[in-house]
Structure 1
Amino acid sequence: MLPPQAHDTDAPIRLTDNDAALAKLSAVRQNYLSDPFIKYFVPRASLQPPRPPLINVGTFVRTVAIDDLVDQWLDLSSAERKKCQIVSLGAGSDTRFWKLATGPRKDCLSKYIEVDFPEITMKKAMAIKKNKDLSAVLGVPEDIKLEQGGTALFSPLYDLLPADLRQDPSVALGSLTTVTGNAPPILDVSLPTLLIFECVLVYMSSRESNTLLHWFHAYFSSHGDGILGAIVYEMFGLGDSFGRVMVSNLKTRNVSLPGADPYATVESLPSRFLNLNYTSARALTLKDIRRNYIAPEEFVRISKLEMLDEVEELDLVLEHYAITWGLTTLGSQSAPWDDWGFKRKEQDEEDE
C-alpha cells in the first residue's frame, strides 16, 4: 500500500502566478501593453481567451506603474555613474528582466536576480533553456548554467534561484551573500539595489515579511553605504464588504492573505518600511495612480481599446490594490534619491 500523499498547501499560491501570467498575456493581446516575451511562459498561449476589460486595465496600471519606478531607479543609478542590481522576489513568470535587457536602459543593469518556489523556478529555467528568444538575452549557451537539479539558473546578467521566502532569509537567501572560492557574493553592496515584491508579501505573515525586509536592510547597513529600495504591490484594506468578498472568494481556492491584516488603509502601508528603519516610504492606490499618475496620452489610448461600462467597479477594485515604495539611504548619498517616486500627471477633465 502506498503511503498517503502529503497535502501541498502551497500549490494554490503558486497557481496565482498562472493567473497573473494569463492577465498579462491578455493585456498584451488587447494592445494595452507591449511584451513579446510573456507568451513563452504561458502554456498554449495562442489558445488562451482574453480577460475582461476590468482585468486588462488593472494589469496595465499595475505594470506601467511598477515599470515607472524601476525605470527611475535605473536612471538615478546611471546619473550616479553606477550600474544597479534588481532582486525580484516571488518573481513567478514575470518578464521584466527581458524587457529591460533588450530596452534602452540595458546598460544600466549589473545583475537581475529572481527568486521563487523551486517548482516555479524549475519551469521557468526549462522555458528559458528551450527558447532561443529568451536564452539569447542571457548570453552564449556555455554561459548559462542549470544547477540544483534544474531549479536554479545562472548567467552573467541574470540569476534564477529557488527559495521559500517564509524561511529564515540567512538560509533561504544565503547564496546571495556567500563568498564562493575567489568569487564575490552575488549581491554587490556597493551598487544601488532594488527589491521588487509583486503580490508576494500579502501571502506571508507580517512576521515573515518583516524578517525578510529587515534582513536585506541589515545586510546593506552592515556592509556598505549604498542605496537600497523596495517596491511592494499588494491588496490591502480588506475589512470592508468588497474586501470580505475578495477574501471569501480566495478561500474557496485555499488561498489566504495573512499579510493584508495589518494594513487597513493606504496610509498604513508605509509603516511596513518605516518600522524597520528604512529612510522613507510612500504608497498610492492603483485607483489614484490610474487617475493622476498615468501619462495623459496613455490614459486616452487605453480608454479607446475596449468598452468599459463598469468604471465604478473598476475604481472599487483598484482602491484595494496599492504600490508602496520604500528607500533606505546609507551614508551621504540621499539627495538625488529622495526624488524617486511617482510624478503627478495632469489629466484633462473629460478623460476622467
Structure 2
Amino acid sequence: MSDGPQRFAGHQSSHVDSDAAIRLTDTDAVTARYSAVQKGYIRDPFTRPLLPRGAQFQPSRPPLINVGTYVRSEGIDSLVTQWLELSQQEGKKCQIVSLGAGSDSRFWRIATGPHRNTVSAYIELDFSENTTKKAMAINKSRELKGTLGDPSNVKIVGGGTTLYSPVYHLIPADLRIPPHESLSQAFQLIDSAEGPILSPNLPTLILFECVLAYMSPAASDGVIKWFVDYFATSPEGTVLGGIVYEMFGLNDSFGKVMLNNLKARNVDLPGVEPYPTVASLPNRFLQLGFERAYAMTLRDIRRSCIGEVELERRANVNF
C-alpha cells in the first residue's frame, strides 16, 4: 500500500490523509506483540527495535489480548516453518513476499534461525510512510542491520522509502493500484543482470496478514490473480503458496462492535463483507487459480497447532 497525494514543502495543504488510520493499525499490532513478548507469551528479540517512539512505555495488554496475539503468531509461524522445511527437504531455495508487512519481524527471526539459508529473497511491501519508518529503524539498530549482511550491500534509496540487501527487500507499493502497475514496478526496481527481485522460477510463499480486509474485493482479487499469472509464466511449474490471516463473519454481536470501533477511528473493512463464512475464504483462492485452499479459525489453530499444556502455561505467565 502507499500514501496518496504528496505534500510539497512551502505549501500548506488541506488534504486529509485518509490512510493514516489504517497505518495506525500497524502500531496497534506491533504494540500488542511487544506486550506479549514482555509477558513471556512470545520470544522475539527483534520487535522492540521496530516499535514506534514511546510505545515501549504503554501499559501491557490484558491477558486475553496476549493469548490471542500468541495464538495468531504461533499459527502463522507454524505454517511458515512448514513451508521452509518443505523447501529444505526438496533442496530448493524459496522466496517469501509479505504484503502490508508493517513492523513485522519475521525476516529477522528466520534469518537467525535454522532455515536462514533456505530463503533466496524476502520481500516486504507496505505504505511508503511505513516503509520509511521501518528503514530508519533498521538503519538505527545494530542488531537488525547487522543481520542483513555486508553493510556495503545494504542500500536505502527512494528518499528513504526503500531498502535493498542481498536477501531482504523493503519496498513501498500501493496494492490498490492495478497490480500491472504497482507490483510489476515494485519487483523490477533493481537493475540486476540476474533478473527481477521476485523470480518466477522459485517456490514462493505470499503472506497476507490483515491486509485484504482493507482493500476492495476487486483490488485484492487483482493482487492474488497477478501472483498466479506471474508464476504461471515459469516453464518449471513453480509452486505458489499463500497464508492469509484475516477477520471474517463480522455480522455477529462481537463483529458489529469491532466494526463500530473501527469506524469511529475512520477505518473501514470493504474486503470483509463478501466473505462471511469460513468456507467462503478458500473458495475465492480456488476461483482465482489456486489448486488447493483451506481455512481454519483461531479456535481450530488452538486445537490443532498448540497443545493444551502449552496453552495453559501461556495463559498463566506474568499477569
Does the alignment reach a TM-score above 0.5? yes
Aligned to 1:108: 118
From 118, 134, 142, the counterpart of 2:144: 134
Aligned to 2:103: 93
Identity of aligned residues (%): 53
From 231, 236, 251, the counterpart of 2:263: 251
Aligned to 2:3: none
How many residues end up aligned between the 2 structures? Answer: 307
Task: Report the Cα distance in structure 1 between the residues aligned to 2:140 and 2:12, rounded to whole angstroms.
Answer: 35
> Contact 2:63–2:315 (CA<8 Å) still a contact in 1?
no
Which sits farther off after the overlay, 145-154 or 215-224?
215-224
Task: Report the Cα distance in structure 2 between the residues aligned to 1:292 and 1:35, rounded to whole angstroms.
Answer: 23
> Contact 2:36–2:69 (CA<8 Å) still a contact in 1?
yes
Task: Report the Cα distance in structure 2 between the residues aligned to 1:183 and 1:122, rounded to whole angstroms.
Answer: 27
Aligned to 1:23: 32
Aligned to 1:280: 292
**Partner deviation per Cα, 1:26-53 (whole Å, 9 max, x = no partner):** 0000000000010011123441210011
Shift of residue 5, structure 1, vs aligned partner:
1.6
Task: Report the Cα distance in structure 2 between the residues aligned to 1:93 and 1:293, rounded to whole angstroms.
Answer: 25
Aligned to 1:218: 229
Q: Does 1:264 align with 2:276?
A: yes
From 188, 192, 195, the counterpart of 1:184: 195
Aligned to 2:70: 60
Aligned to 1:241: 253
Shift of residue 189, structure 1, vs aligned partner:
1.8
State the TM-score, normalized to the length of structure 2.
0.92
Counterpart AA for 1:95: S
From 23, 36, 45, the counterpart of 1:36: 45
* Aligned-partner SS, 2:293: strand
* Aligned-partner SS, 2:224: helix
Task: Report the Cα distance in structure 2 between the residues aligned to 1:20 and 1:36, rounded to whole angstroms.
Answer: 16
* Aligned-partner SS, 1:14: helix
Shift of residue 182, structure 1, vs aligned partner:
2.3
Aligned to 1:341: none
Counterpart AA for 2:214: Y
> Contact 2:31–2:56 (CA<8 Å) still a contact in 1?
no
Shift of residue 4, structure 1, vs aligned partner:
4.2
**Partner deviation per Cα, 1:36-81 (whole Å, 9 max, x = no partner):** 0100111234412100111101100000100000000000011111
Task: Report the Cα distance in structure 1 between the residues aligned to 2:173 and 2:200, rounded to whole angstroms.
Answer: 21
* Aligned-partner SS, 1:107: coil
Higher strand content, 1 or 2: 1
Shift of residue 104, structure 1, vs aligned partner:
1.1
Aligned to 2:59: 49
Shift of residue 243, structure 1, vs aligned partner:
1.1
**Partner deviation per Cα, 1:191-217 (whole Å, 9 max, x = no partner):** 110000110000001100000000000
Shift of residue 306, structure 1, vs aligned partner:
5.6
Task: Report the Cα distance in structure 1 between the residues aligned to 2:291 and 2:264, rounded to whole angstroms.
Answer: 39
Aligned to 1:295: 307
**Partner deviation per Cα, 1:203-249 (whole Å, 9 max, x = no partner):** 00110000000000001012341100011111100112221111111
Counterpart AA for 2:83: W
Aligned to 1:318: none
CA gap 1:129/1:306 in 2 versus in 1, 3 angstroms: closer
Shift of residue 275, structure 1, vs aligned partner:
0.9
Task: Report the Cα distance in structure 1 between the residues aligned to 2:304 and 2:241, rounded to whole angstroms.
Answer: 23
**Partner deviation per Cα, 1:149-168 (whole Å, 9 max, x = no partner):** 11000000100000111111
Counterpart AA for 2:208: F
* Aligned-partner SS, 1:264: coil
Which sits farther off after the overlay, 175-184 or 33-42?
175-184
> Contact 2:200–2:233 (CA<8 Å) still a contact in 1?
no
Correspondences of 1:101-180 after superposition (within 5 Å): 101-174=111-184, 175-177=186-188, 180=191
State the TM-score, normalized to the length of structure 1.
0.84
**Partner deviation per Cα, 1:289-336 (whole Å, 9 max, x = no partner):** 1133213442232122266xxxxxxxxxxxxxxxxxxxxxxxxxxxxx
Long gaps (5+) in structure 1: 308-352
Long gaps (5+) in structure 2: 1-9
* Aligned-partner SS, 2:117: helix
> Contact 1:39–1:45 (CA<8 Å) still a contact in 2?
no
Task: Report the Cα distance in structure 1 between the residues aligned to 2:192 and 2:142, rounded to whole angstroms.
Answer: 32
Counterpart AA for 2:46: F
Which sits farther off after the overlay, 224-233 or 11-20?
224-233
Task: Report the Cα distance in structure 2 between the residues aligned to 1:229 and 1:202, rounded to whole angstroms.
Answer: 19
From 14, 31, 41, the counterpart of 2:23: 14
